[in-house]
């Protein structure tokens, strides 16, 4: 069927149908960017409570929460996490995407670290080789664009320097974030989503946004919960008290 | 309103209700010629036929100040479906009738204002929420208020009280194997409570549960709420 | 086999019975706890229902917007009027991509159009990656539950299956079995040319396809292969991201009791220029297959369905017989309505009666679909269309006549008393000939009373003391 035919069909049925009751869609902010900014400022005033709620919910869904003072301490914490998991090969978002050069700090500690390139790669061969290396990674380090306290969710936007598989292929995922990512609810996350999609996307923006709520899981066999089906088995959040993202 | 099942199979329950209400100071009338609220026809998709029966029944009950119904499903039919089934003046009258119609426990608790009665049987009782009373009329508290307050009997909560007993009207004979499997699950729960009697406010549920309990030779009885309330005040 | 026969077969399957009881009870408890801790839940359900209705009222506008936005981001949209066309479109895209193998995430829509067979016939191997779907694919079976498709299999059976089909010996331990599936399927994800998914929602204002999963296969299938094809019923479109948050808040809670599933993936077009990963091509296939007609039809309410499975878990019928007995892609209460939508009212002649009308489904439904009402409507359609058996129609019409005539009513009672005499035992009717045998084979029946209430009224009236002054 063509688009015209398909839409015409819908249109004619819509015209023939009495609605069931008066109903309206959700109101959306007219200037979502401004609303998001205002929200961001308000949230920054009560971040400790939001953080506490996030920690509780994150742990409730099986995440491991860590808190450090500075971004340098964060590197140490990631090293400790890696040691606990027996992880040797680390892949990280590009430093610009992370907001800090964690990769160098980790490599200094003797781990094999590969930071993702800043953009796309040329030939297909390079890409699949890189992907194979990500797939062999033991631990992936990313940032988090939002941390939703209501549900213990990390929101990761894909894009340049922040490929999707960093948080997907290695069995252990570590997200490093500061108070700037914290939001209280799904509803607030919605405001940011509206803002992010308002107008043309920034050049670095990728096509996927992932909400990550705990590790990969299934109960398909006899309702017994097992973790790490296709995605990571372990998810860690390292919260850095001193803001490090611009 | 006595209901068809009540009239034909459980007349004693109806008699007890009349006597109980009289002791509570209620003047009880019974418009003659009642047959059925029409629910069996309605549920099987015979809407026009159901409407005709509903029109007749509604007309019979027209002058009652309150209509008291021993079955949640029939009370639901009058309150929720009559206004939609009947058109014009009859529809308006039906809306009016709906507002004056109560299932028995609702009537006792919210109109008569009484929850404390003597129990007609000793021992432990458990309560099954019939689907139309629970979900259709939103009523789960009134029967429990009365049963919990019964002097001489103890109410134990039935796990899965809100789960269907498997009656479903013609469902019970269209798909008897499934209906019986659902019933078996319900009766297993009932027997596990250790109760001597399972109480319900619907003749359909009672027919189904009593039928199953008898067939398995259970010592547990199935009884209507009115059966466990002592006539005397 | 009739539905009744399939149901009876399911009832005799003791293992299935156990699995169903455990699984549905677990889901019921999880859902109850999730909403118990969620006071805003009820208001959000009303809101969700309203958003769905508002969207349907202007569905043409919202679909048009969705198409615009998907194309603006480099995606392509295709239009399938029915199952055959959907298969054609998907196979064609996959073929043009030179695919030999396609990884699939759980999608009822792809089941509905029977896509896998068509792919195989075209020489493209479909690989189900949702663990439950993977298991039943290996076993050549159909899913028995919308959310937990392999609920009817024991871990022992899965271990045997893996040994037989994959040549991998392992203990009958869910962890070990999951690890095998992870390894086997990771290879597939990395090698596949095409990823085929459904979509839980599509956001019109942004052209975003939304996938809700727990395992991570949704992320894999939409990030690794070169081509991503999403097949989606047209009624799944919702207007905005703000609307999406309302649905996300209630979907997982209704399905499994989780606040959110492990992964919610928002996809806006194929890989963008700066991106390392993601498909080169994104195709959204919009599916009608009986849905559009219901906008003005009696099953419009069923278009609100989020495919959460909550109604299955609470349905007394489904809990006893499981999914296969229904005989169609979609089982359970909503399944009966969807089957009528897809295959016509004739297809649900028996299924429309596979319900005691208890209403637990409508209670559990996150968008408050009035399933019992639509089942009664379907039954009524069977009566009007005369697809209901003539004998039955005669019985009910006779019943209607009896109930409208006090004389006939009284006569029937007298006849009943007469007829039952030889069968009364100890105050009950334990055994009756057809058609009442359907009842008495498993249950006693009370006899018609020697004197009905109506017959006793005269003396009851006389019993009354002078009229009291209380309520009437």
Q: Which residue has the tokens 């009966």?
A: C336
Contacts of C416 in chain B (CB under 8 A): 8
Interface check for A130 against chain C (CB to CB < 8 A): the answer is yes
Beta pairing, strands A146-148 & A153-159: antiparallel
3-state SS, C7-47, equals: HHHHHHCHHHHHHHHHHHHHHHHHHHHHHHCCCCHHHHHHH
The percent of chain C in helix, strand and coil, each rounded to the nearest 5, is: 55, 10, 35
Strands (E), chain B: 67-69, 101-103, 118-127, 151-156, 197-200, 221-224
- Asked if the Cβ–Cβ distance from C363 to B135 is below 8 Å, we say yes
Q: Is residue A67 part of a domain?
A: yes
CB nearest to A211's CB, from C67, C175, C264: C264
| Model confidence pLDDT, tens digit, residues A116-154 | 999 877 666 788 888 899 999 999 999 999 999 999 999
Inter-chain touch C53–A21, beta carbons under 8 Å: yes
Buried b (16+ CB within 10 A) or exposed e, B136-171: bbebbebbbbbbbebeebebeebebbbbbbbbbbbb
Question: What are the backbone dihedrals phi and psi of residue C458, each rounded to the nearest 5 degrees, phi first?
Answer: -55, -50
Rg (CA), chain B: 17
Q: What is the mean pLDDT of chain C?
A: 94
The pLDDT assigned to B233 comes to: 40
In total, chain B counts a number of residues equal to 233
| Other CB atoms within 10 A of residue C294 CB | 21
As a whole-number percent, the residues of chain C with pLDDT over 70 amount to 98
Chain centre distance of CA A170: 15
Return d(Cα C114, Cα A8) in angstroms, integer. 26
* Inside any domain, residue A25: no
Contact status of C378 with chain B (Cβ, < 8 Å) = yes
Torsions phi, psi for A76 (to 5 deg): -60, -40
- Quick check: A163 and C295 CB within 8 A? no
Distance from CA of C212 to the nearest CA of A (A): 9
Indicate the average pLDDT of chain A.
Answer: 94
Residue A229 within any structural domain of the chain: yes
| Contact flag C461-B30 (C-beta cutoff 8 Å) | yes
Confirm if A134 and A166 have CB atoms less than 8 A apart: yes
Sheet holding C76-80, edge to edge: C76-80, C281-287, C227-233, C194-197, C101-104, C125-128
Contacts 24+ apart (CB under 8 A), C359-363: C359/B131, C359/B132, C359/B135, C359/B136, C360/B131, C360/B135, C360/B162, C360/B163, C360/B164, C360/C311, C360/C314, C360/C315, C360/C316, C361/C310, C361/C311, C361/C314, C361/C315, C361/C332, C361/C333, C361/C334, C362/B135, C363/B135, C363/C314
- Which residues of chain C make contact with A136, given a CB cutoff of 8 A? none
- The pLDDT confidence band at residue C465, using thresholds 50, 70 and 90, is low
- What secondary structure letter does DSSP report for C205? T
Residue A227 lies in a domain: yes
Rg of chain C (C-alpha set): 27
Mean pLDDT of the region C9-14: 94
Q: Can you say whether the dihedral through the CA atoms of C311, C250, B134, B67 is positive or negative?
A: negative
- Bridge partner residues of C238 (DSSP): C203
Integer CA distances (angstroms), C232 to B59, C72, C112, in order:
51, 19, 11
Hey, are the CB atoms on B214 and C444 less than 8 Å from each other? yes
Task: Encode pLDDT of A190-207 as tens digits.
Answer: 999 999 999 999 999 999
CB contacts, 8 Å: C263 with chain A = 210-213, 216, 231
Q: Does C72 touch chain A (CB under 8 A)?
A: no
Which residue among B8, B41, B170 places its CB closest to the CB of C413?
B8
Query: B130, B73 in Cβ contact below 8 A?
Result: yes
CA dist., res. C54 & res. A215, Å (int): 36
CA of B135 to nearest chain C CA: how many angstroms apart? Answer: 7
Long-range contacts of residues C156-165, Cβ cutoff 8 Å, at least 24 apart:
C158/A221, C161/C135, C162/C138, C165/C138
The closest CB to that of C453, out of B7, B52, B131, belongs to B7
C222 at the A interface (CB within 8 A)? yes
Tell me the whole-structure pTM to 2 decimals.
0.96
- Report the CATH number at residue A137: 3.40.50.10420
Mutate to test the interface with B, among C16, C28, C332, C356 (most CBs of B within 10 A): C356
Instruction: Please report residues of C whose CB lies closer than 8 A to that of B182.
Output: 316-317, 320, 356
Residue with tokens 């005539």: C405
If we measure between CA atoms, which residue out of B22, B23, B25, B53 comes closest to residue B39?
B53
- Say yes or no: A209 contacts chain C, CB-CB below 8 A: yes
Beta-carbon contacts of residue B186 (< 8 Å; ≥ 6 apart): B128, B160, B163, B164, B165, B166, B209
Q: What one-character-per-residue DSSP string does B78-97 give?
A: IIIIHHHHS-HHHHHHHHHH
Is residue C343 within 8 Å of residue C350, measured between CB atoms? no
Termini Cα distance of chain C: 55
Question: What angle is formed at CA C98 by the lines to CA C93 and CA C103, rounded to 5 degrees?
Answer: 70
Which chains pack against B, by 3+ Cβ pairs within 8 A? C
User: Distance between CA atoms of A177 and C86, rounded to whole angstroms?
Assistant: 43
ipTM over 0.85: yes
What's residue C19's pLDDT?
87
Query: Which of C275, C291, C301 is the mutation pick for testing A, counting most A CBs within 10 A?
Result: C275
Residues of B in contact with C357 (CB under 8 A): 43, 131, 168-169, 171
Q: Is A151 inside a domain boundary?
A: yes
- Note whether C449 contacts B9, CB cutoff 8 Å: yes
Q: Which residue of C has its CA nearest to A132?
A: C190
Q: Do A231 and C264 touch (CB under 8 A)?
A: no
Out of C219, C234, C296, name the one closest to residue A16 (CB): C296
Closest Cα in chain C, distance from residue A184 (Å)? 13
Size of interface A-C (CB pairs under 8 A): 279
pLDDT in tens, chain B (233 residues): 999 999 999 999 999 999 999 999 999 999 999 999 999 999 999 999 999 999 999 999 999 999 999 999 999 999 999 999 999 999 999 999 999 999 999 999 999 999 999 999 999 999 999 999 999 999 999 999 999 999 999 999 999 999 999 999 999 999 999 999 999 999 999 999 999 999 999 999 999 999 999 999 999 999 999 999 996 54
The pair of structure tokens assigned to C327 is: 């005989």
Is C151 part of the contact surface with chain A (CB cutoff 8 Å)?
yes
Q: Which of B46, B168, B169 sits opposite C400 (nearest CB)?
A: B46
Mutation site, C12, C13, C457, interface B, largest B CB count within 10 A: C457
C362 touches chain B (CB under 8 A): yes
Domain encompassing residue A49: 31-240
The Cα-based distances of C301 to A85, A93, C63, C374 in angstroms read 50, 46, 19, 8
Beta strand C201-203 with C208-213 is: antiparallel
Out of C381, C409, C430, the one facing B35 most closely (by C-beta) is C409
The candidate with the shortest Cα–Cα distance to C224, out of A231, B81, A31, is: A231
The rounded distance, in Å, linking the Cα atoms of B192 and B196 is 11
CA proximity to A239, closest of A95, A63, A43:
A63
Say if residues B117 and B19 touch (Cβ distance below 8 Å): no
Search chain A and give the residue with CA nearest C64. A7
What whole-number distance in Å separates Cα of residue B135 and Cα of residue C32?
16
Contact A159 C272 (CB under 8 A): yes
Smallest Cβ distance to A190: which of C179, C244, C258? C244
CB C145 within 8 A of CB C329: no
Whole-angstrom distance, CA of residue C304 vs CA of residue C213: 20
Instruction: Specify the pLDDT at position A122.
Output: 67
Specify the long-range contacts of residues C404-407, CB closer than 8 Å, at least 24 apart.
C404/B35, C404/B52, C404/B53, C404/B56, C406/B32, C406/B33, C406/B35
Residues B101 and B60 sit within 8 Å (Cβ to Cβ): no
Q: Decide if C321 touches B, using CB distance below 8 A.
A: yes
DSSP state of C127: E
For residue C308, give the DSSP letter. -
Segments of chain A with pLDDT less than 50: none
Half-sphere exposure of C53 (CA within 13 A, CB side): 17
With contacts defined as CB-CB under 8 Å, which chain C residues touch B8? 413, 416, 448-449, 452
**Interface check A206 vs C, CB under 8 A:** yes
Residue A171 lies in a domain: yes
The string over C82-118, giving b where at least 16 C-beta atoms fall within 10 Å of a residue's C-beta and e elsewhere, is ebebbbbbbbebbeebebebbbbbbbbbbbbbebbeb
Q: What Rg do the C-alpha atoms of chain A give, in angstroms?
A: 21
Domain count, chain A: 1
Dihedral over Cα of C289, C292, C294, C297: its sign: negative
CB A217 within 8 A of CB A158: no
C290: burial class by Cβ within 10 Å (0-12, 13-18, 19+)? buried
What confidence tier does C469 reach under pLDDT thresholds 50, 70, 90?
low
Q: Other C-beta atoms within 10 Å of C380: how many?
A: 20
- Whether residue A20 lies inside any domain: the answer is no
- Evaluate whether residue A22 is within a structural domain: no
């Amino acid at each position: 069927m063509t688009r015209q035919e398909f839409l015409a069909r819908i249109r004619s049925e819509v015209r023939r149908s009495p609605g069931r009751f008066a109903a309206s869609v959700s109101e959306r902010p007219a200037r979502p960017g401004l609303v998001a900014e205002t929200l961001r400022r308000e949230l920054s005033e009560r971040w400790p409570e939001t953080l506490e709620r996030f920690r509780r919910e994150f742990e409730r869904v099986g995440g491991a929460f860590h808190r450090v003072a500075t971004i340098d301490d964060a590197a140490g914490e990631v090293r400790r996490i890696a040691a606990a998991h027996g992880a040797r090969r680390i892949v990280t978002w590009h430093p610009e995407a992370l907001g800090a050069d964690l990769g160098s700090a980790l490599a200094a500690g003797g781990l094999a670290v590969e930071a993702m390139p800043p953009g796309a790669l040329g030939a297909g061969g390079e890409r699949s080789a890189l992907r194979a290396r990500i797939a062999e990674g033991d631990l992936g380090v990313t940032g988090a664009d939002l941390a939703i306290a209501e549900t213990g969710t990390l929101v990761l936007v894909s894009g340049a320097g922040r490929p999707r598989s960093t948080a997907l292929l290695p069995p252990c995922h570590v997200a490093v974030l500061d108070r700037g990512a914290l939001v209280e609810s799904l509803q607030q996350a919605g405001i940011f989503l509206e803002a992010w999609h308002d107008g043309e996307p920034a050049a670095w923006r990728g096509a996927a946004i992932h909400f990550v709520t705990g590790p990969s899981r299934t109960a398909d066999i006899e309702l017994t919960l097992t973790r790490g089906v296709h995605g990571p088995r372990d998810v860690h959040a390292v919260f850095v008290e001193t803001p490090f993202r611009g | 309103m006595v209901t068809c099942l009540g009239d034909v199979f459980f007349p004693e329950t109806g008699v007890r209700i009349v006597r109980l209400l009289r002791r509570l100071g209620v003047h009880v009338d019974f418009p003659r010629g009642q047959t059925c609220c029409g629910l069996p026809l309605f549920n099987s998709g015979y809407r026009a036929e159901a409407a005709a029966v509903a029109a007749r029944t509604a007309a019979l009950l027209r002058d009652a100040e309150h209509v008291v119904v021993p079955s949640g499903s029939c009370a639901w039919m009058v309150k929720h479906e009559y206004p939609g089934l009947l058109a014009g003046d009859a529809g308006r009258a039906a809306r009016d009738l709906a507002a004056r119609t109560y299932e028995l426990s609702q009537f006792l608790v919210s109109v008569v204002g009484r929850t404390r009665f003597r129990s007609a049987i000793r021992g432990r009782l458990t309560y099954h929420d019939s689907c139309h009373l629970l979900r259709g009329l939103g009523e789960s508290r009134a029967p429990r208020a009365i049963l919990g307050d019964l002097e001489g009997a103890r109410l134990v909560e039935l796990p899965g009280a809100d789960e269907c007993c498997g009656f479903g009207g013609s469902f019970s004979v269209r798909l008897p194997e499934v209906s019986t499997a659902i019933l078996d699950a319900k009766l297993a729960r009932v027997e596990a409570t250790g109760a001597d009697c399972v109480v319900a406010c619907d003749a359909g549920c009672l027919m189904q549960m009593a039928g199953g309990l008898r067939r398995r030779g259970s010592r547990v009885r199935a009884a209507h709420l009115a059966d466990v309330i002592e006539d005397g005040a | 086999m009739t539905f009744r026969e399939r149901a009876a077969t399911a009832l005799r399957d003791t293992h299935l019975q156990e699995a169903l009881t455990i699984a549905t009870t677990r889901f019921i408890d999880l859902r109850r706890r999730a909403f118990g801790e969620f006071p805003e839940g009820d208001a959000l359900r009303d809101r969700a229902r309203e958003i769905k209705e508002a969207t349907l009222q202007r569905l043409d506008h919202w679909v048009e917007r969705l198409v615009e936005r998907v194309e603006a981001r480099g995606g392509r949209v295709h239009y399938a009027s029915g199952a055959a066309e959907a298969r054609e479109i998907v196979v064609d895209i996959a073929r043009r991509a030179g695919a030999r193998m396609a990884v699939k995430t759980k999608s009822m829509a792809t089941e509905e159009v029977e896509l896998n067979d068509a792919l195989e016939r075209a020489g493209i191997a479909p690989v189900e990656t949702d663990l439950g779907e993977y298991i039943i694919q290996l076993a050549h079976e159909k899913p028995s539950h919308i959310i937990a498709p392999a609920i009817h299999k024991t871990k022992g059976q899965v271990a045997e299956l893996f040994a037989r089909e994959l040549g991998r010996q392992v203990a009958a331990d869910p962890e070990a079995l999951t690890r095998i599936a992870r390894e086997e399927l990771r290879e597939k994800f990395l090698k596949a040319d095409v990823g085929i998914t459904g979509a839980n929602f599509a956001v019109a204002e942004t052209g975003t396809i939304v996938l809700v999963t727990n395992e991570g296969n949704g992320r894999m299938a939409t990030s690794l292969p070169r081509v991503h094809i999403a097949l989606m019923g047209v009624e799944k479109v919702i207007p905005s991201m703000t609307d999406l948050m309302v649905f996300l808040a209630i979907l997982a809670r209704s399905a499994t009791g989780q606040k959110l599933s492990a992964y919610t993936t928002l996809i806006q077009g194929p890989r963008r220029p700066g991106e390392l990963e993601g498909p080169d091509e994104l195709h959204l296939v919009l599916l009608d297959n009986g849905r559009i007609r219901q906008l003005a039809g009696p099953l419009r309410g069923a278009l609100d369905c989020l495919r959460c499975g909550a109604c299955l878990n609470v349905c007394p019928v489904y809990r006893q017989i499981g999914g296969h007995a229904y005989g169609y892609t979609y089982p359970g209460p909503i399944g009966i309505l969807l089957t009528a939508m897809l295959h016509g009212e004739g297809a649900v002649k028996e299924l429309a009666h596979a319900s005691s009308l208890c209403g637990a489904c409508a209670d559990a439904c996150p968008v408050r679909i009035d399933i019992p009402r639509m089942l009664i409507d379907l039954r009524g359609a069977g009566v009007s269309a005369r697809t209901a058996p003539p004998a039955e129609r005669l019985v009910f019409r006779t019943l209607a006549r009896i109930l409208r005539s006090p004389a006939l009513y009284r006569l029937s009672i007298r006849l009943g008393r007469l007829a039952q005499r030889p069968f009364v035992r100890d105050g009950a009717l334990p055994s009756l000939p057809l058609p009442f045998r359907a009842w008495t084979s498993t249950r006693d029946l009370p006899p018609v009373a020697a004197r009905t209430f109506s017959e006793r009224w005269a003396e009851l009236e006389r019993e009354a003391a002078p009229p009291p002054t209380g309520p009437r």
